[in-house]
Chains A and B, each alone.
Chain A
Amino acid sequence: MRLLSKKSLLLMSLVAIHVPILFSGLFAPYDVAEQNRDFSFVPPSRIHFTDAHRTLHLRPSVCSLENSGFGQYHENRDRCFPIHFLIMGSPYLLFGVFKSNLHLFGVEAPAKIFLMGTDLYGRDVFSRFLYGGQLSLLTGILATALSLGFGVLFGTLAGYYGGWPDAVIMRIAELFLALPWLYLLFAVRAFLPLNLNAAAAFCLLVSVIGIVGWARPARLVRGIALSSRERHYVLAARLFGGSDSYLIRRHVLPDAYAVIITQAVLLIPQYVLAEVTLSFLGLGVGEPTPSWGNMLSTLQQYQVLVSYWWLAIPGAVLVPVFCSYLLLASELQPRRTAIDA
């Protein structure tokens, strides 16, 4: 027996990605809006284990930066500051509720630690990346919950009752599937308010992405409901006097359970990407609230794209996130045939 199955390994990697983002206040050394106008477009800080005299230290340190003009920075190796762990810093709200000022790591002023460099305003990209991940991933997860909710509800109704509800629901679903996905998303987004504060924009994104995507899961669930209501044990339960809601809850939905889970795992990355795309194009959450999409949108300027590679990190992180989700989905999917496994 193997110590770890592939599935649990993937789950662990997903947890490893999500935990720092969930506790972003703790992991981020600075506030998202904290600007350092003297340090715009600073490359990622170098972390030293040796001092100026080349003696080795166990405690890592960063050296203070000096702005030498024209966007050039150089380290002053004589002024190095140790990195402290679990130190008090700027106050933040954990999960938006609990007040705290504990940070996992940080350095004493005047030195600054920028693990992923800074942007135009000298804001710490690492902190913004963590907070932005909160927004992007949460949008994906909530929108998935929403569209699966609608999909399961309408899919079960259509499949279980058949007849005219089935016809009506499936015709409407066809409308949603008749357009290319991004066009549909744009169309729905186009008819909703443009300039919003962050919270409203977030709710809007979740509902737009969630509602646009309901048709595909609805189709899948309908197919399952259609076949499961004809099963003999369901017929038997109905003969015993089981009500419709009982039959749906106890027999039809459990049949669809595996498909719903797989769909959820498949939809989350797709919806995270939808958020990133919309915010990238300026139709999602706007500055100064960070999201992976609007952090990437500075790359639309050619000189930023060419000169400051660290601003692309929020985009590069999408790859491992998607990779874990999609691999997990393919692990969850029931094998078609034993040979093709």
Chain B
Amino acid sequence: MKFLVRRFLHSVFLLMGVSLLSFSLLQLTPGSFFDEMQLNPQISRATVSRLRAEYGMDRPMLQRYVCWLESAARGDWGLSFAYNAPVAPLIWARARNTLLLTGLALPLAWIIALPIGVLSAGERYRWIDRGGNLVASVLLVTPELLLALGLLWLALRTRWFPAGGMASVVPIKHGAAAHIKDLVQHLFAPVTVLVLGSLPVLLRHIRSAMVDALQTPYIKAARSHGIPYLRILFRHALLAASSPLLSLAGLSLASLLSVSLLVEVIMNWPGLGPLLLEAILARDVYVVVGAVMLSGLFLVCATAVSDVLLFIADPRIRTEDLA
């Protein structure tokens, strides 16, 4: 338990640090949301400065940070200037869609990568290894930007699947099944880009972890006992290789979130990406801080989950904890 408690405290400190970092960056910001209003002759100087005071933009940074912490503790996460509403519900509505994308892409990528990676470590330099390596290399040098644009092009040309967006107009009377079918169709393109984008890294790590595990004496012993090779690969070696892979699982969410940001903007997916971009362009700073904090929170949660799994899977960590 000590291991888990330590990890938890560490992540709380990390999040506090991230918020401090973003507020010290905030200090540097030139201009604010209200600058554009000053250009409008119909809005008087007094109104603009009253608005600034109302949103607390005239107070010193430290005071604003404390205010923001209070509001974060309340569950508001600050106030959005553009929407004139608390940030948290605003972000949460979008983050759900981002989570839908990444939450689908993460297991899918692992389901595809695991068997290929394990088999290519087991059958080194055979066709599956070479083929997997070739695919991984091609995907590695193709930026996700191009993949997304390419899929969009395909969608527009062939109309096999919808190009962008999250929903098309489906009359309510068609029922839930029609809506789900529509959603799945819209999910296809962005999820494909995310899966293809994360495959090469996963494949390489799985392969190298498995190669390490296969060279251990106990695997050789298991082979000499005559256990079927596939069983050795998936039952024995994969379990032995699991601890670096479990920490990779947490980390792979980080790259997925990054790519998802870009893919959402290109494919008009109503997730965090478009919201963050709009907020940056409009100088809606608390939305930016909120979105960045949320991404940090996601990562911390993902690492925590992978830590717990590691704790369950790897007896070495558990015994270390008892000592």
Closest to A183 in B: B295
How many contacting A-B pairs (Cβ < 8 A)? 129
B17 interface residue (CB < 8 Å to A): yes
Given A175-B14, A182-B258, A305-B156; A190-B280 close (CB under 8 Å): yes
Q: Please indicate the chain B residues that have their CB under 8 angstroms from the CB of A193 in the complex.
A: 30-31
- C-alpha gap A247/B138 in the complex (Å): 43
Chain A residues near B262 (CB-CB < 8 A): 182, 277, 281
A residues less than 8 Å from B149 (CB atoms): 296, 299, 305, 312, 315
A283 on the B face (CB < 8 A): yes
Whether B143 and A322, one on each chain, are in contact in the complex, defined by CB atoms closer than 8 angstroms, is yes
Give the residues in chain B near A181, CB-CB below 8 Å: 254-255, 258
Is A183 a contact partner of B281 (Cβ separation < 8 A)? Answer: no
Tell me whether B141 and A305 are in contact (CB under 8 A).
no
Q: Count residues of chain B with CB under 8 A from any CB of chain A.
A: 51
Contacts of A340 in B (CB 8 A): 208, 211
Query: Are B281 and A194 closer than 8 Å at their CB atoms?
Result: yes
Interface flag for B28 (CB, 8 Å): yes
Task: Tell me what chain A mostly uses at the interface: helix, strand, loop, or mixed.
Answer: helix
* Given A179-B296, A180-B255, A305-B152: A191 touches B157 (CB 8 Å cut-off): no
Whether A190 pairs with B28 at a CB distance below 8 angstroms is no
Q: A306 interface residue, CB < 8 Å from B?
A: yes
Produce 1/0 per residue, A159-184, CB < 8 A to B: 00000000000010011001111111
> Does B145 touch A at the CB level, under 8 Å?
yes
Distance, CA A319 to CA B142, complexed state (A): 6
Interface residue tally on A, bucketed by range: 35 or more
How far is A227 from B25 in the complex, measured between Cα atoms in Å? 35
A218 to chain B, nearest CB (A): 16
A183-B145 CB under 8 A given contacts A178-B17, A178-B300, A300-B266? no
Stretch at the interface among B79-87, B108-116, B284-292: B284-292
Within 8 Å by CB of B141, from A179, A188, A281, A319, lies A319
Q: Considering the complex, give the chain A residue whose CB is closest to the CB of B265.
A: A281
The answer for the CA separation of A324 and B25 in the assembled complex, in Å, is: 36
Interfacial chain A residues near B170, Cβ < 8 Å: none
Pair A179/B292 contact, Cβ less than 8 Å: yes
Residues facing A in B244-276 (CB within 8 A) are: 254-255, 257-259, 261-262, 265-266, 276
Nearest-neighbor residue (CB-CB) of A305 within chain B: B153
What are 11 A-B interface contacts by the 8 Å CB criterion? A174-B17, A179-B254, A180-B258, A182-B261, A190-B279, A190-B280, A194-B280, A280-B145, A312-B146, A322-B143, A326-B140
Given contacts A171-B17, A315-B146, A315-B149, 13 further A-B contacts (CB under 8 A): A178-B17, A180-B261, A183-B258, A183-B292, A187-B25, A189-B280, A194-B31, A283-B280, A296-B145, A299-B149, A305-B156, A322-B141, A336-B208
